[in-house]
Amino acid sequence: MNAAQYGIIGWPLGHSKSPLLHNWGLKAAGLPGTYAAWPTEPKKLKAFVAEVRARRIKGVSVTIPHKVAVIPLLDAITDRAKAVGAVNTLFWRDGRIMGDNTDVAGVAAPLEAHRDRLGPALVLGAGGAARAACAALRGLGVTDLRVSARRLAKAEQLTADFAARAVDWDGRAQSAWGLVLNATPLGLQGENEALSPWPDDAGNMALAFDLVYNPVRTRFLAQAEASGATIISGLSMFLQQGLAQFEIWTGKRLDEQRARQLLLADLLMTGG
């Protein structure tokens, strides 16, 4: 049996723990295959999708900044990907390259226990991850949903799709929030690690959720905790969306507890 090929595309990709999770998963499930990191500049995205077709790459994870841009290059997308307007998973169905989105479930699962205090909710960012966050929050019953991004026009485009309201970036910390969710790359390991999407002298939130998972404790989460907020690491979201991807590709569900232990041990060992 030929070993299947899987991998992740994004730009940059130095922070990703997807290869760790999925290579472990393939071995744990007794499946032949390898999962690689494929750093892909935006200008090379079209050529990459052509390569997926030519090499019959079985599954691809899609991350920043390709989650929206990849859609026109695919044969079709699932209903849930259409509802979000972004894709994080590529797979084959009946000879066609399909796009799906497992980020919504990844965002929703860690917030289930906090449903009674999610509003008003503020999503920071306006890319593919922010779209998934808005879809998840609407699914959890949040009625007062706002979006803030450094480019107001982009935030307004997102709010139009989810019947939310845009908040000027400079005024994002001037109101009290039930939830502030970071869907920007600010705080991500690498050149953005020392950055935060939140002003240093601001609190005004009951719950803080950072979709950045590497490092586990971001500057944003440290700020939120210091102000008295309950914090949720992006590791939970990353784990849930990754397990769902693996099931789409292989039909097998991995052991959630073992997968979490694997990721946490690696992040702590590497200083994440």
What is the rounded CA–CA span in Å between residue 236 and residue 191? Answer: 23
Known active-site residue 67: yes
pLDDT above 90: residue 14: no
Tokens of 121: 């909710």
Q: Are 151 and 216 part of one and the same domain?
A: yes
Condensed to tens digits (0 to 9), the pLDDT of residues 220-255 reads 999 999 999 999 999 999 999 999 999 999 999 999
Q: Say yes or no to pLDDT of 41 above 60.
A: yes
H helices of 85-184, in order, are 103-111, 128-139, 152-162
Sequence-separated (6 or more) residues with CB below 8 Å from residue 271: 215
Question: Residue 195 pLDDT more than 70?
Answer: yes
CATH of the domain at 97: 3.40.50.10860
Question: Residue 271 pLDDT > 70, yes or no?
Answer: no
Q: Are residues 198 and 111 in the same domain?
A: yes
156 with 171, same domain? yes
Residue 268's pLDDT is 83
Phi, psi of 232 (to 5 degrees): -130, 125
Q: With 60 as the cut, is the pLDDT of residue 1 above it?
A: no
Same domain flag for 119 and 160: yes
Query: Does one domain contain both 84 and 141?
Result: no
Domain that holds residue 24: 4-102+236-269
Q: What mean pLDDT is predicted for residues 42-55? A: 97
Sequence-distant (6+) residues with CB within 8 A of 53 are 97
Same domain? For 97 and 109 the reply is no
Q: How many domains does the chain have?
A: 2
For residue 272, the model assigns a pLDDT of 58
Residues 110, 97 share a domain: no
Is the same domain home to 110 and 229? yes
pLDDT at residue 15 is higher than 90:
no
* Domain containing residue 177: CATH number: 3.40.50.720
- Do 56 and 125 belong together in one domain? no
Q: How far apart (Å, rounded) are the C-alpha atoms in residues 211 and 133?
A: 9
Residue 130 and residue 224 share a domain:
yes
What is the pLDDT averaged over residues 17-38? Answer: 97
- Residue matched to tokens 């803080």: 208
71 and 121 co-located in one domain: no
The active-site residue out of 27, 58, 67, 82 is 67
* 91 and 209 part of one domain: no
Q: Residue 205 and residue 151: Cα distance in Å, rounded? A: 23
Q: Which long-range contacts (CB under 8 A, 24 or more apart) does 34-37 make?
A: 34/3, 34/4, 34/5, 34/6, 35/6, 35/7, 35/8, 36/5, 36/6, 36/7, 36/8, 37/7, 37/8, 37/13
What is the model's pLDDT at position 81?
96
pLDDT tens-digit series, residues 51-95: 999 999 999 999 989 999 999 999 999 999 999 999 999 999 999
